[in-house]
Amino acid sequence: MSAGERFRQALVERAPLQIVGTINAYQALQASKIGHRALYLSGAGVANASYGLPDLGITGLEEVCIDVRRICAVCDTPLIVDADTGFGHALNIARTITQLIKSGAAGAHLEDQVSAKRCGHRPNKACVPTQEMCDRLQAAHQARKLDPHFYLIARTDARAQEGLESAIARAQAYVQAGADAIFAEALQSLEEYRAFVEAVSVPILANITEFGRTPLFTLEELKSVGVSMALYPLSAFRAMNKAALEVYLDIKERGTQRDQIARMQTREELYEVLDYYSYEAQIDALMRKN
């Protein structure tokens, strides 16, 4: 079963399907071991965590694929990838989809912002014309030959500048262009999600990101209006960052990390996620043979 097929199966079996952000391979293992069925690699996560850059379209395809390959090498849980605007024109977009499939991804979302994109919850976003986004999606749709089940999500950022009706009209055109689902960015109420669900014939994804324009709706609230996927792109990353900063401050100001120990993962807990002892046993067996 391909990665795309595994994602589609999870989507059928879990409604709504929670998709949790994992910025590296270890986080992917953590999320998978406690039972999450779908993972996500955020473009902001790649830019922020791997390169120390803001999420402004600065990183490229290969930099994203490096993190995709690292995650998919150790984890079979299907991974959805943020492909920004596709990293170029139609030929670049086709290559983006091919390389993501080769790297192990189960699916990706493309957005309708201009190439000089911004975070979806920041002001002054600008979208390309609807037909240009449809051209992006058609290029992506035609490129998924290596995994015909690769899940293609169209993200629209039009709600902020053009209003709800225009965003829905765009989404309907994107479905006709080959999108398997719609990522309606920065919606502000359950009623807006319900409007998308009723107007569009494919699953709707809700981006439940912290400190943005969308309220932190519960899974049950999203289910009540027919949303099929709930995305939590950087929740764990934000928690990790705050915890790390507090540790750094304690070490600097108090000269010890003692007060932070209770908040730390133990060595045994780390080893359990990594299956450390099975690796060690293999080394011991090899040494006995020699």
> Residues with catalytic annotation?
40, 55, 82, 84, 109, 111, 119, 155, 185, 207
Buried/exposed 22-47: b ≥16 CB within 10 Å, e otherwise: bbbbbbbbbbbeeebbbbbbbbbbbb
Query: Does an H or E element contain 110, and which?
Result: strand 107-111
Question: What amino acid is encoded at 85 in this protein?
Answer: T
Query: Does an H or E element contain 231, and which?
Result: strand 229-232
CA–CA separation, 126 vs 155, rounded Å?
13
Listed in sequence order, the DSSP H helices in 144-189 are 159-162, 164-176
CA–CA separation, 211 vs 208, rounded Å?
10
CA–CA separation, 158 vs 171, rounded Å?
10
CA–CA separation, 38 vs 7, rounded Å?
7
Q: Determine phi and psi for 96, rounding to 5 degrees.
A: -55, -50
CA–CA separation, 78 vs 60, rounded Å?
22
